[in-house]
Structure 1
């Protein structure tokens, strides 16, 4: 049976920080920071026990920061072009190094990271890190690069706005003058100005631009209609290939590729086969937001999985909040035209607001029916953001991040729910509330069911909504139902987004049984897997299956075949 992938996304900087008393805009010394060593065998065993197959360690690569490590040979960054005291994990300062924040002994930081990889593998999981191909920190400088490797921009012709041999784009004869720094006593100087990471071809990026980063040049002349200059192979391509090979050789099992669609798909088509030639099991996940390009990045760009943000995530969020009917979930898989098995499902990540925040649902339990859908709808992977399983609210005003319902990626901080879970007596429950314990147990059990059931891991999918639109005992605006089938079994999944408990019936059309190759006459019993209780089948259940379903909940009913 094919293993269903469950990814635990976590920021080491925050995960292991046990300092409860945090100060807004606090420094590392004031607020503390997590370490690679925080993921000891005990922590990794607990994550594995929840059912996760992969851990995405977010923010591993060395990135720009206001913390000064210059006495240890790491150049200091100018604070005017850094977001927050800790800095953005996506403003890479050195592609060949890891963040010194995360090491117990800074000089041994790479050894400590390699030890983390080894521990992760010994505890039965695989490790994913970020690959940030579109942009670098404004003061990028690698002091850890291998011999003979040249830095990005080292040989650039800075008098040209575009040159296919350049690593950066330039704005000749103009210095960088960020709008928000004008009139201030800024000490940062950049001449000529480089193009900002979010394709801001101006020397005056605004505060909402990715002003802390510089756009990398992959051979696309954006100022002349986007002409591609890919022959000979651009220097940036070669540098990025070598960086990926470097981390693959370290034992990394996969790469979450940041803003992959801002890099030409031709690069991915060229580089991924070269990396997988060294290890065919390496995982490549693309952060993409344009459904019109999905096929290019899967079939041409060769990615294993793509973010399902603008379809499933956005739809589920709206259904949770009552802005859209549950029936709209059907259109998600229909729109992506057979790519559902290639999509990464999630309800939270570092970019999105926490479910329990005041800006989203305000209550983590309201999202449970959506989590049932995300975890069981197809064979594709599912990602959970650390603290989601504990109802983390993200309602702290950390500093640069502000009070926005997100867990900061820019500031030194500590996550209450994770800290309390970690301090609960060998990762026990003593410092968690009853509600947090209940939520974590639900997530753990749901993952277990999704991983163990053949119908969910590798079976067929059949949407039942079309057969229930006219069903007076089924509210298609509040309930969503589908079937998954294996060789000798099938399951019915129903999610109830209603604020009330409801009595419903689900109509299963004859063509559903035909599609699954199952005769309802051979069904000898049923069990509801989330409650682990037997499920009584009413007469003629195969035409209309009756049940009571609690508010904000789901059922996974397994049918046994003789």
Structure 2
């Protein structure tokens, strides 16, 4: 909540020549846990970050243990400080331990919210591992929507595609506000995708919701509704 999403496009562009040699991550052993009270505060606020980081480029992404069940690093380890998971102390990681479930490794002790978070990670990562679009082309759709009503710096959108798969990824970084807007799809992308005037159904690969892309005079419009911290990975 302290910065706009505008800089993401520049970051990607700056590293484009080496993207396949980079590693994306949100949690690691040095920095504050994303779910900690001194950072994002809740693991759900990291969901749009995870979608963007996973699908923005062809770089691999790392999941630090416990991240997918919202481990906040609250324990006082001795050497390390709370909000981080120390690698120097024998310190407990309760959320991760609930997934371990006394050696069964089946998530049997997870809360409902922790199960839902892990399910989100599973859906996203399973899709990205098989997606040809994520290894293919990219186009920024954030800048073309700078003047779109209800679209602001808490939103982020881009397209990924290959010869066999076309995606539009939309994320709402605002944790508390639902947004409703009509995304403008540039004529260049419509041309590259070979779309004629008409309507095209799109389906979210994560949870199955649908949206309709309307192409008129070579330009596209896509109505989008997002809850707080929600993303859609819409496949044509």
Q: Normalising by the residue count of structure 2, what TM-score does the alignment of the two structures yield?
A: 0.92
As a proportion of its length, which structure holds more strand?
Answer: 2
Q: Which residue does 1:395 correspond to in 2?
A: 74
Between structure 1 and structure 2, the one with the greater Rg is: 1
Aligned pair count reads 233
Say whether residues 1:356 and 2:32 are aligned partners. no
Say whether residues 1:443 and 2:121 are aligned partners. yes
Partner Cα separation in structure 1 for residue 70 and residue 177 of structure 2: 21
Shift of the 462–376 alpha-carbon distance from structure 1 to 2, 3 Å rule, reads same
Q: Which residue does 1:549 correspond to in 2?
A: 226
Deviation larger for 407-416 or 437-446:
407-416
Kept in 2, the 8 Å contact 1:369–1:496? The answer is yes
Shift of the 507–536 alpha-carbon distance from structure 1 to 2, 3 Å rule, reads closer
Give the superposition deviation at 1:542: 4.7
Equivalence map 1:282-293=2 (5 Å)? none
- Gaps of at least 5 residues in structure 2 are none
Asked which structure has the greater RCO (Cα within 8 Å, sep 6+), the reply is: 2
Kept in 1, the 8 Å contact 2:69–2:114? The answer is yes
Kept in 1, the 8 Å contact 2:159–2:167? The answer is yes
Equivalence map 1:225-236=2 (5 Å)? none
Kept in 2, the 8 Å contact 1:525–1:537? The answer is yes
**What's the Cα RMSD here?**
2.0
Say whether residues 1:346 and 2:25 are aligned partners. yes
Partner Cα separation in structure 1 for residue 221 and residue 151 of structure 2: 10
Partner Cα separation in structure 2 for residue 542 and residue 424 of structure 1: 56
Q: Which residue does 2:194 correspond to in 1?
A: 519
Aligned to 2:106, which of 424, 428, 438?
428
Partner Cα separation in structure 2 for residue 502 and residue 424 of structure 1: 42
Q: Which residue does 1:480 correspond to in 2?
A: 156
Q: Residue 482 of structure 1 aligns to a residue in which SS?
A: strand
Q: Which residue does 1:452 correspond to in 2?
A: 130
Kept in 2, the 8 Å contact 1:346–1:383? The answer is yes
Partner Cα separation in structure 1 for residue 221 and residue 209 of structure 2: 20
Q: Deviations over 1:107-144 (max 9, x none)?
A: xxxxxxxxxxxxxxxxxxxxxxxxxxxxxxxxxxxxxx
Give the superposition deviation at 1:352: 1.2
Give the superposition deviation at 1:554: 0.5
Q: Normalising by the residue count of structure 1, what TM-score does the alignment of the two structures yield?
A: 0.40
